Chain A
Amino acid sequence: MSEFTFLYRGRADTTGSPEQRQQHISKWAAWFKELGAGGHLKEIGHPLDPAGMVARGSRKIVTDGPFAEAKDIVGGFSVVEAENLAHALELAKGCPILEVEGSVEVRPIQTINM
């Protein structure tokens, strides 16, 4: 088993009806439950506030925000256990964020096997 980070990209969609919003949250809960039941959810992780500051370069210039486009903003992350990258990707395809034009970036956590 290897570990992968799921980065959830894209801001939440608030254009739907209240029912749709609540259903969306329920879908996430169901998805996490399924991951957990399969023994794949290592850490549920954290949501990230869209606001923030960036320190950059040797001159330590500080700027506001990640300032990415709404669809690229990382809104949170989880750590998932899977056989390999292909398997992790299969798991990511179940994420409800895909239904609202968001994306999941799957990145293997680097380990050195000695």
Chain B
Amino acid sequence: MTAGDHLFRRESGRLVAALTRIFGIHNLALAEDVVQDAFCRALEVWRIRGMPENPSAWLMATAKNRALDVLRRERRARGFAPELGRLLESEWTLAPTVEELFGASAIKDDMLRMMFSCCQPRLPEASRVMLVLHILCGFSVDEVAGAFVSGHVAVEKRIARAKKVLAGSKRLFDTGAPADFSARLPAVQRALYLLFNEGYHGACAETAVRAELCREAMRLLALLIEHPLGATPASFALAALMCLDAARLPGRVGPSGDLVPLFEQDRTQWDRSLIAEGLEFLERSASGTELTEYHLEAAIASVHAHARRPQETDWATIVSLYDRLFAMRRSPIVALNRAIAVAQTEGPERGLAEIRAIADRDRLAAYPFYAAAQGEFELRRGRREVANEHFRTALRLARNPMERRFYERKILSARAGARRTVRARRGR
């Protein structure tokens, strides 16, 4: 047993998905109770007996037995999964049916069904992501709140509301119906994209939590791609994007736990095998005529991955990719990133001009990287005082101690530079 092995986390999603399939979506709470009970028993037995050889199998057997108890006892009192109907009613078919539903491939299907069910259109996007994280990734309400830097009460309410909507639907999403599958697929991809981004760009201060969000998103996406209808060019592009971005994670935090910006990262720390995997996915994503935002974002990430040193970055290609991305998603954040790329080739003045040209840049007012980018450009133009103003704004907006330390260092170095300039002028 190692600290990184999140047994309970992994099993929670699998078991809740399997039990919900058996009990029916309206009994989601019951499924969660049975899983909690299995975890409780596991702790009580393992603390004295030690961990068993195969803890996953142990947990599954316990949950399965509890499920059989519940099915036998409450068969008449409440209806279970309508699509399983009579199979659960007869003692002849009950045990074999439950046995089969706990098989490895059945559980994969169950998780996919749950993933699609969580992404139903009646739920706001943020709720879908939280629901996926809570139900399928086994994050407690507190952990979801931590990951989204949100209050416990707010997250609890949101998840409770979302679960109510989910439990109110007639049945679990039917992943066997191709038309429905394809119609819901973009929402599922989007939820996984947002989950990954929360880990990658999110506000949570803990590197470990953020890496875990990225890992969970990649794990669920792998499950989606295993399904023939889920293996679309957009899914491959999303997988490419995740691999290529995740490859840079080891370089993003310095030895003292400080944030390291892309241009200053030690690129030898980037995960080469993830990059190779990402490039392979990118290749596979080019099989159709479909071009999605994921394709463009993955292509941008691949340009960075190809540059062994920051100076070798093909900025012209990146700018043109951002142009196409902006045409698809007219977001001020895309425009800001584009401006940063433009400044790399055409200088800080052009970068600042591009930023000023962002139509709805007031929407960026609370975004620390907006102020930071302007500070960076001003610094490069030698206007240290103005740069410092921007960095102070960024510092005020910073979302966690790691970001704050980063901007504090920026302010210090800009100030030190300013003093040097003054002294040089006086000396002249």
Contact = CB atoms under 8 A, between A and B. Distances in A.
A15 B45 contact: no
B142 to A, nearest CB: 8
Contact of B36 (A14, A17, A22, A97): A14
Given A14-B39, A22-B1, A25-B51, A75 B8 contact: no
A22 B49 contact: no
A24 B39 CA distance: 13
B131 to A, nearest CB: 18
A17 B43 contact: no
A18 B7 contact: yes
Of the four ranges (under 10, 10 to 19, 20 to 34, 35 or more), the interface on chain A belongs to 20 to 34
Interface residues of B, number: 26
Nearest to B146: A17
B138 A96 contact: no
Contacts of A21: 8, 39, 43
Given A15-B140, A17-B143, A21-B43, A44 B8 contact: no
B48 A12 contact: no
B48 A44 contact: yes
Interface stretch (A45-53, A54-62, A85-93, A104-112): A45-53
Contacts of A8: 48
A24 B47 contact: yes
A23 to B, nearest CB: 8
Interface string A1-29: 00000001001111111110111111011
Contacts of B140: 15-17
Given A17-B140, A78-B48, A26 B1 contact: yes
A25 B8 contact: no
Nearest to B10: A18
A76 interface: yes
Given A21-B8, A22-B8, A76 B3 contact: no
A21 B47 CA distance: 10
Nearest to B9: A18
A42 to B, nearest CB: 14
A88 B39 CA distance: 30
22 contacts: A8-B48, A11-B40, A11-B44, A12-B40, A12-B43, A12-B47, A14-B40, A18-B7, A18-B12, A19-B3, A21-B39, A22-B1, A22-B7, A25-B46, A25-B47, A26-B1, A32-B48, A47-B48, A48-B44, A50-B44, A76-B47, A78-B48
Given A12-B41, A24-B43, A48-B44, 14 more contacts: A11-B44, A17-B142, A17-B143, A18-B12, A19-B3, A22-B1, A22-B3, A22-B5, A22-B7, A24-B47, A28-B48, A47-B44, A47-B47, A78-B48
Interface of A: 8, 11-19, 21-26, 28-29, 32, 44-50, 75-76, 78, 96-97
Identify the 7 closest CB pairs spanning chains A and B, nearest first.
A12-B43, A18-B8, A28-B47, A47-B45, A18-B9, A47-B48, A14-B39
